[in-house]
Amino acid sequence: MSVNPDAVDAAFFDELRKHYSDDEIVELGAFIGFNLGYHTFFGTLKFYPLFAPDGRLVSQTESEKLYGAAPVSLGKAGAAE
Amino acid sequence: MIHIAPLPKEAIADPELRALIAEGEALGVPDDLFPRILARAPEQAVPLMRALLMSHARGNVDHKLKEIMRILLARFAKDKYFAGLRSAKARAMGLIEQRIDDGCFAYEDNAKGFSEAEKCALRYADLMFLDAGQIDKAFYDQMKMHWSEAQIMELGAFIAFHYGMQMFMRSLGAVPLPSRSEDE
């Protein structure tokens, strides 16, 4: 839906219906649309999670290092403690 | 042909959703097709419809400007459904098709008469999904010269939400119900 919306065609829906009901497809589609829009918006605001993976309250500067454009491995960050 | 059939209106019993459907029909955006599709996911239908209506028709930014932004986004999303709907409220406030087209395709042209604040807001909608990288600190500093932070959040959330729902409706191959279509 985000990268190649033209690929979400009748054949794609036929494939989806092998696994999901029409009601579930609507739930998924609306969920994807909502997230597609908001994550792009949030990305422009440059804010990051308040907490590190180990539960510490961290500054936005530190959080950007953890979750930003070039995040350290979250698994590694969690294992450091 | 739409990929997922909407529920019949009479199958929707939730009074809150029915009231939101009526509100949307009175506004013209959305017609009842969108909520009848959403009604298949009833836990999402009410909050999504409420957010759609509230973000568009209420708030502290001119409704006519948001109507132009909404159509700009829908055209960019290639969503025939939302691009074809028009707000009766915006029309009653004096918004005409030529102004919508100018706002979508020529808002930077000084001859079109958009204020610097309106240009900034339209640029915000234009760039968000075209090149979000351009919406940086300098861009927000420019926005703050014309809009309060509350208004910027209102505009950003409006853009994000409507574009997301437009992409969803595009994926379904939806078009407006016959009496509502304006685009194409």
Whether B138 is covered by a domain: the verdict is: yes
Instruction: Give first-to-last CA distance, chain A, whole Å.
Output: 39
Whether B4 is covered by a domain: the verdict is: no
Specify whether B67 is located in the same domain as B43. no
Domain termination residue (choose one: B57, B73, B96)? B57
Indicate yes or no: CB of B41 within 8 angstroms of CB of A37: no
Task: For residues A52-58, give the mean pLDDT.
Answer: 93
Q: What is the predicted pLDDT for the residue at A81?
A: 37
Specify whether B67 is located in the same domain as B53. no
Higher per-residue confidence, B47 vs A68 = B47
Whether B175 is covered by a domain: the verdict is: yes
Q: Which residues of B134-166 are buried (b: 16+ CB within 10 A; e: fewer)?
A: ebeeebbeebeeebeeebbebbbbbbbbbbbbb
pLDDT of A78 strictly over 80: no
Domain that holds residue B106: 63-180
Indicate yes or no: CB of B3 within 8 angstroms of CB of A13: yes
Q: What are the residue boundaries of the structural domains of chain A, listed by start?
A: 1-45, 46-81
Tell me how close the Cα of A6 comes to any Cα of chain B, in angstroms.
8
Tell me which residue in A13, A26, A38 faces B41 most closely, judged by beta carbons: A26
Whether B2 is covered by a domain: the verdict is: no
C-beta of residue B100 within 8 angstroms of C-beta of residue B90: no
Specify whether B73 is located in the same domain as B115. yes
Indicate yes or no: CB of B163 within 8 angstroms of CB of A37: yes
C-beta of residue A52 within 8 angstroms of C-beta of residue A58: yes
Question: Which residues does A contribute to its contact with B (CB < 8 Å)?
Answer: 1-2, 5, 8, 10, 13, 22-23, 25-27, 29-38, 40-46
Q: Which residues of A26-63 are buried (b: 16+ CB within 10 A; e: fewer)?
A: bbebbebbbebbbebbeebeeebeeebbeeeebeeeeb
Residue given tokens 């930003």 in the structure block: A68
Q: What is the pTM of this model?
A: 0.91
Specify whether B75 is located in the same domain as B163. yes
Q: What is the predicted pLDDT for the residue at B1?
A: 83
C-beta of residue B168 within 8 angstroms of C-beta of residue A29: yes
Q: Which of B15, B55, B52 is nearest to B34 (CA)?
A: B52
Specify whether B91 is located in the same domain as B154. yes
Whether B69 is covered by a domain: the verdict is: yes
CATH of the domain at B170: 1.20.1290.10
Specify whether B148 is located in the same domain as B176. yes
ipTM of the complex: 0.92
pLDDT of A79 strictly over 80: no
Tell me which residue in B40, B164, B173 faces A38 most closely, judged by beta carbons: B164
Task: Find chain B residues with C-beta within 8 A of A60's C-beta.
Answer: none
Percent of chain A whose predicted confidence (pLDDT) is above 70: 84
Q: What is the predicted pLDDT for the residue at A68?
A: 79
Task: For residues A76-81, give the mean pLDDT.
Answer: 42
Instruction: Give first-to-last CA distance, chain B, whole Å.
Output: 17
pLDDT digits (tens, 9 = 90+) for A15-38: 999 999 999 999 999 999 999 999
Specify whether B53 is located in the same domain as B68. no
Indicate yes or no: CB of A27 within 8 angstroms of CB of B132: no
Specify whether B45 is located in the same domain as B80. no
At A80, is the pLDDT very low, low, confident or very high (cuts 50, 70, 90)?
A: very low
Task: For residues A41-55, give the mean pLDDT.
Answer: 90
Instruction: Count structural domains, chain B.
Output: 2
Specify whether B68 is located in the same domain as B42. no
10-residue averages of pLDDT along chain B (184 residues): 94 97 97 97 96 97 98 97 98 98 98 98 97 95 98 98 97 86 59
Specify whether B71 is located in the same domain as B143. yes
pLDDT digits (tens, 9 = 90+) for B59-106: 999 999 999 999 999 999 999 999 999 999 999 999 999 999 999 999
Whether B1 is covered by a domain: the verdict is: no
Task: Find chain B residues with C-beta within 8 A of A11's C-beta.
Answer: none
Domain termination residue (choose one: B24, B39, B57)? B57
Q: Which residue is closest to A46 within chain B, CA to CA?
A: B136
Specify whether B85 is located in the same domain as B171. yes
Whether B117 is covered by a domain: the verdict is: yes
Q: What is the predicted pLDDT for the residue at B184?
A: 52
Specify whether B92 is located in the same domain as B132. yes
Indicate yes or no: CB of B164 within 8 angstroms of CB of A34: yes
Q: What is the predicted pLDDT for the residue at B183?
A: 63
